[in-house]
Amino acid sequence: MTTERFEELVASALDSLPESLGRQMENVSVRVDPYAPAGRLFGLYEGIPLTQRGINYSAVLPDRITIFMRSICASCRSETEVTEVVRRTVIHEVAHHFGISDARLSELGWA
């Protein structure tokens, strides 16, 4: 799969989020890492979740959501499967942006 096609899948996953959630996402960038070696990590959220931002939150770099292309592609057998794993990963990492923990995501079936 090309990086461009993978980026399209990530963009589509983001576009599939409810509009109300998209409007609430603040100071966060989403990127694809096509180069990191394949591993167990499909995505990574780095930043300060919305639930932990207070009145002193200002002049900070954007939070980052990174989606690891090689890890996802190495774990899948078809583009259909890649599409589903990308969607689940994007939702999982966006949930972290909203302050939802791994434990809670596991309870909800999104871990």
Distances (CA, A) of 49 to 61, 93, 96, 108: 13, 11, 7, 19
Residue 67 belongs to domain spanning: 3-108
Q: What mean pLDDT comes out for the span 4-25? A: 91
User: Does residue 101 carry a pLDDT above 70?
Assistant: yes
pLDDT in tens, 29-69: 999 999 999 899 999 999 988 787 778 877 778 899 999 99
Please count the structural domains in the chain.
Answer: 1
Which distant-in-sequence residues (6+ apart) come within 8 Å of 6 by Cβ?
32, 34, 69, 72, 73, 82, 86
Packed helices 3-15 and 79-97: angle between N→C axes, nearest 10 degrees: 50
Question: Looking at residue 32, which CATH number applies to its domain?
Answer: 3.30.2010.20
Global model pTM greater than 0.85? yes
